[in-house]
Amino acid sequence: MTVWGAIAADVLLALLAMAMLPALFRLARGPDLTDRVVALDLISMIAVAISALYATAYDAPVFLDVAILMALITFVGTIAFAHYIERRREKTE
């Protein structure tokens, strides 16, 4: 990879890290639990993108395995949150 390619990859990594900030804001602020779960979903998507881009930029293909694991665990976690949201108010009603 040429010098300019490395610089471009670093800039893209910084932009992806910046894209995480609005999602973190929504995670902290979100009026409902649903908004927070959506924000968590987007954060993990950005994390997958960051680790994939890091794998090429620094020639470390191990980080692709990290991306696979992150995508798997996020899916299970989101489904679990959906079940929790659907069922949690039945006891109090």
Residues that bind another protein (CB under 8 A): 1-2, 5, 8-9, 12, 15-16, 18-23, 25-26, 31-35, 37-39, 41-42, 45-46, 48-49, 52-53, 55-56, 59, 61, 64-65, 67-68, 71-72, 74-75, 78-79, 81-83, 85-90
Q: Are 88 and 33 in contact (CB under 8 A)?
A: no
Residue 3: CB minimum distance to another protein, A: 11
| Measured distance CA(3)–CA(84) in Å, rounded | 49
DSSP alpha helix (H) spans, 2-91: 3-29, 33-57, 62-87
Cβ 25 to another protein shortest distance, Å: 6
